Structure formats: structure tokens, C-alpha cells
Amino acid sequence: MSVCDLGNLHSIEQAISALTHTLNKQTATQVLPLQQAHKHILARTVYAQVDVPQWDNSAMDGYALRASDLQQADHSLPLGGRIAAGDMPEQSLPANQCMQILTGAPLPHGADTVVPNENCSIGNDRIQFNSYKAGANIRRRGEEIQQGQRLLEAGSHLRAQEIGLLASQGFAEVEVYTPLRIGLISSGNELAELGQPLQAGQIYDINSHSLGALLRGLGFQVTHYKKMPDNLQENIDSLAKASSEQDILISSGGVSVGEEDHLKNAVSALGQLNLWRVAIQPGKPLAFGKVGSTPWIGLPGNPAAALITALIIARPALLHAQGASDCNHQALLIPALFDWQKPRPRQQYLHARLVPQDNGQLGVDIHSKQSSAMLIAASWADGLVEIKPKATVAKGDWVTFIPYANVLG
């Protein structure tokens, strides 16, 4: 069925669901050294091996003592020793004495308070405590993590903070899902390779590089294939080869309304082709299906449309296939610093930047160039403003803002 034969536009949610059901969910796992697991998806739930901290320790550089020993009028105590991080005191805190203690050092038995250096005065043989609070400045054993508690769920995306959390438990390696192999393909005689002079009527291949950077940032293994010329048999040969080597194929271009190109015909010849019109702008044309048994996604050819469609529609479906448990993006409500009096039937995504206002709050403004063919606005922007179908925006209205940091991996 042609795109032109379809009536209503499909919603973005419907498109994500359709892609999610088309993609094969990854089941293969691998065990990696922790330092190599960044940006991977955790394959097994992880439980804590030890308490953190493993003992009561000092949160400050100062002096450990019993608060009850400071009842005398001068609030001073003689110094009974010194404990540094890595030490393990062999004796309890002597009665009516204090011990110098450094941040992270284990608390000596009998001590119940740490007084920081700035609240102390050092005399000839005594420490004067100018102010103190009983029980203060101590990190208690297990107050952060207790042995046996669930640390990270399967499906967690391993960011720098998760890597650090696993390191706190002594995990030298971790089981993760093997990254899906994604093949990127561009088609069209008008595309030129980077570093080569442009001939008449040519443009550089943008999408394979921007999409490749996006997918690698999300943790996928990306292979770039040579551009496919406008020749049906060469398209069939290229797609057949790539599908035998990859878990997913992604192409850009050749899916617009009424376009007679060889890419769609080649996909149809090798497998299954679905063409949709999606209520998203920029974007709208979306193709997906299978080349043989390998899932295929066809994104729009215009660079901004390809990037936004990949972020909003392809990204959550791809992350679900990779084994991620949370595939949705997080959005913020921010006051608009712009007017947008152009209601459209499709949900719009505008390249936008956060701007500090005189009142100290953040507002969001949009770039003047929102063409689906232009990437200059995306480079300028901090994220995307989402405008619902048939909606307008006036300055001061609250709008949905999706930070790029929340969708770029």
C-alpha cells in the first residue's frame, strides 16, 4: 500500500510501538571488565556484596571523642592518638581523651562524635572544643548501602555513576547485553563522500555521520556501508549483504510521498516494506520492515528530520531491543521566550536553547531556522521544544522541553 493510500496520520506512540514490535530483542550477553562496560545495558540484576560504609567513619577532618567527656567546664581533652584513612585502630578511645581523625578514617571504639578542626583550638597538651554537637560528623556503617540489597536492576543503562556504584562493591566485571549491530546505509547519486570535492548537483552525506554518532553514543555497534547508487540490482545486492552481517539496518532518504526510488523496491523484493505517515514535524514519512529476517528502519532524508525522527521514534524502540528497561526520554516544563502562532496537524519539534532570565529562572527560546533540511539550529540548540498538534505558543506559556542530554546517551 502506498503512503498516499493511507488516510489519517499515525501517532508518534503508534510508530514507536510498531517499530518496537518489528525489532528483535537482544538476548545475547557478554561479561566485560567494569572499565569497558560504560554505555552498555546491564543483563542481570546486581545485589550489594558489602555494606557501604563498611564501618563507622569520620565525615570530617577533626577529633573523635565521647560527647559525655566534654562535661567539664573548659570543654577540653588531652590528645590520645591519631587515625588516618586506611588505619584500623587497635585500641578503644581512652576515657576522657580525644583522638585526631582524618576524613574517611574508621571511628575508634567508644567514640560517638567528631568535632571538625574549625571548631577546635590546639593548646600545649590539650584540644579546646569551642562548639560541638553530640553524634555529629559520623558516617554510619551501611547508611548508604547494605549487603544484600538490590543495587541495580537488569536493563539499567550503565552511565558513569552506575560504573562507580558497581566499583564501590568491588565488581571487577559485569554481565551486559551484547551491543546490537546496526548497519547504516545512505542512498542516492547526489551524495558525495567526505573529503572529496563536490560535483555539480552533489551534497555531502550528512546523515550517516550524524546518525552514526547518535547510535554509538547510545551504546550500539555501528557499521557504515557504501552509499547505494540509484540502481535496483545494486540496491538489492547491498541490502542483502548488509542484512547478513547486521542485527538492524537503518537507511535515510527515499521514503517520501510519491517517490519512485530503488530503495523501497529493493526492500520489497527482499522482505517486507511498511510505509507510514506519522504525525511528527519535521519527519512524517517513516518506513520500516525487514530485509530477509533483519529489521530495517527507513528515516527521512532531510538531515534535521532524520535526526529528530531518530531521537523521538527510533531511539526508544532501539533501546528496548537492546534490553533497556527505561526507554522514555525525560522532559521539562519551561516558560517560552517566543511566540509560535503556526498551528499544525502534526506534533512539532523545534530546536531550542535555554536562556537565563533577569529573575534568575530559565526560559527557552527557539532558533529562527527550523527547516527540516538544516542542522545549524540543532548545533545551536540545547534540546527540543515539543508543540502538540494544532497548538500555538505565546511568550510566557509553559512548554515541554526535551534536553539533548536526556536523549543523546
Place of cell 545494486: 234
Query: Among residues of the chain, what percentage have pLDDT more than 70?
Result: 97
* pLDDT tier, 5 (very low <50, low <70, confident <90, very high otherwise): very low
- Give the residue from 268, 287, 322 where a domain finishes: 322
- Report the pLDDT averaged over residues 169-195: 93
Q: Which domain holds residue 381?
A: 332-406
**Structural domain includes residue 327:** no
- We report the CATH number of the domain holding residue 272 as 3.40.980.10
Phi, psi angles (nearest 5°) of residue 400: -85, 125
3-state class percentages of the chain: helix first, strand second, coil last, to nearest 5: 25, 30, 45
64 lies in the same domain as 76: yes
Average pLDDT, the chain: 93
For position 192, what pLDDT does the model report? 86
Residue 47 has pLDDT above 50, yes or no: yes
* pLDDT tier, 24 (very low <50, low <70, confident <90, very high otherwise): very high
198 lies in the same domain as 316: yes
In sequence order, what are the residues at sequence separation of 6 or more whose Cβ sits closer than 8 angstroms to the Cβ of residue 54? 141
Q: Which residue has the higher pLDDT, 254 or 406?
A: 406
- We report the CATH number of the domain holding residue 45 as 3.90.105.10
- Give the residue from 298, 322, 346 where a domain finishes: 322
Q: What is the pLDDT of residues 240-293, one digit of tens each?
A: 999 999 999 999 987 765 555 688 889 999 999 998 899 999 998 899 999 999
**Structural domain includes residue 272:** yes
Phi, psi angles (nearest 5°) of residue 46: -110, 135
- We report the CATH number of the domain holding residue 76 as 2.170.190.11
Number of separate domains in the chain: 4
- Report the pLDDT averaged over residues 107-112: 96
For residues 292 and 243, give the distance between their C-alpha atoms in angstroms, rounded to a whole number.
7
Handedness of CA 160, 162, 164, 166 (dihedral sign): negative
224 lies in the same domain as 344: no
Residue 193 has pLDDT above 90, yes or no: no
For residues 42 and 31, give the distance between their C-alpha atoms in angstroms, rounded to a whole number.
10
Q: b vs e for 299-316, b when ≥16 Cβ sit within 10 Å of the residue's Cβ?
A: bbbbbbbbbbbbbbbbbb
For position 258, what pLDDT does the model report? 52
Q: What is the pLDDT of residues 117-152, one digit of tens each?
A: 999 999 878 999 999 999 999 999 999 999 999 999
- Report the pLDDT averaged over residues 183-201: 88
112 lies in the same domain as 130: yes
Q: What is the pLDDT of residues 359-386, one digit of tens each?
A: 999 999 999 999 998 999 999 999 999 9
State the DSSP H helix or E strand holding residue 115, giving kind and residue range, or none if neither: strand 113-116
For residues 46 and 137, give the distance between their C-alpha atoms in angstroms, rounded to a whole number.
30
- Could you write out the DSSP letters of every residue in 232-263? HHHHHHHHHHHHHH-SEEEEESS-STT---HH
* pLDDT tier, 7 (very low <50, low <70, confident <90, very high otherwise): low
For position 3, what pLDDT does the model report? 39
97 lies in the same domain as 39: no
277 lies in the same domain as 399: no
Place of cell 558497581: 166
* pLDDT tier, 88 (very low <50, low <70, confident <90, very high otherwise): confident
Residue 328 has pLDDT above 50, yes or no: yes
**Structural domain includes residue 298:** yes
- Give the residue from 264, 290, 322 where a domain finishes: 322
Alpha helices in 177-285 (DSSP H): 207-217, 232-245, 262-270
**Structural domain includes residue 207:** yes
42 lies in the same domain as 84: no
The span from the first CA to the last CA of the chain, in angstroms, equals 36
In sequence order, what are the residues at sequence separation of 6 or more whose Cβ sits closer than 8 angstroms to the Cβ of residue 4? 257, 258
For position 74, what pLDDT does the model report? 82
